[in-house]
Chains A and B, each alone.
Chain A
Amino acid sequence: MMVLLFDTYGGITHNDLVYNKKKLAEPFEPAQPIESFSRTIKNTVDYTDAGHTPFGVNQIIAQTYTHLFNSGVLLDACEKWKWRKAGTT
């Protein structure tokens, strides 16, 4: 039922999806709480899913990692992530 509700009343257009995908590409601002960044990612992923154009897992991980690495504030965590055991998260 939720898919039908999103399709009928969600008002998700192609332009909205394009705009939403750009939001995933917005850099992480270290002055903002990490929760805000996390929420933006989750909402972006939810939106594309509701619009039947979901992001791939690797795409989400790569984009998030890039934002965090480029922010320069979580370099140790990024380094650990980079060298984590294959197949773990």
Chain B
Amino acid sequence: MTSTLTVDNVINGFEHPMIAPIRTEPNYETIHSVQKRLNSNAASVHSYRGGGIHRHLGAIISSTRYVVIIPVPFVAPTNPGRTATLPADTPPEARAMLERNYAANAKEFQAYNTLQRDLNQQIINTFDSPYLQGLEYDVVAFANLSARK
């Protein structure tokens, strides 16, 4: 199943919307099993990046692991800023194109962040909190961590 990424509804499109909680101390096997489910989830959400075939898989695995699967690097979208940059003397047609590009980039960036947030939430829900406390930052908790790192 694949889903189109929207800001509000990512997790419902996941192949594994629920991941069974792990109530013991994590080890390689349990973390790896969760990683595989997160991979499936990221790969069930549409993206044109990294060749497009594996959708958002590149958002959750390493770049070296990704190029083993497909030789096109997955480059995460970057923040396009609050507004489109439009020089004062931009002709109307070019202005319209820049605004469309900005809107598309902003939507993709926002959606990518939503995906990261939902994957993070799945990780937090899967592992018991004592095992995650060491990874948490005082002020922002897990907000400055991507699902990968």
Q: Which A residues lie at the B interface, using CB under 8 A?
A: 1-6, 8-12, 43, 45-47, 49-50, 54-55, 57, 60, 89
- Name the CB-closest residue of A to B31: A5
In order of increasing CB-CB distance, the 6 nearest A-B pairs are A3-B149, A9-B26, A54-B64, A10-B28, A49-B65, A4-B135
Chain B residues whose C-beta falls within 8 Å of the C-beta of A5 in the assembled complex: 26, 31, 123, 127, 131, 135
B65 touches A45 (CB 8 A): yes
A50 touches B28 (CB 8 A): yes
CA distance A32 to B71 in the complex (A): 29
Q: Which B residues lie at the A interface, using CB under 8 A?
A: 25-28, 31-32, 34-35, 38, 60-62, 64-65, 67-68, 71, 120, 123, 127, 131-132, 134-135, 142, 145-149
Chain B residues whose C-beta falls within 8 Å of the C-beta of A2 in the assembled complex: 31, 34-35, 38, 60, 123, 147-149
B32 touches A46 (CB 8 A): yes
Chain B residues whose C-beta falls within 8 Å of the C-beta of A46 in the assembled complex: 32, 35, 65
Secondary structure at the A interface, as helix, strand, loop or mixed, is: helix
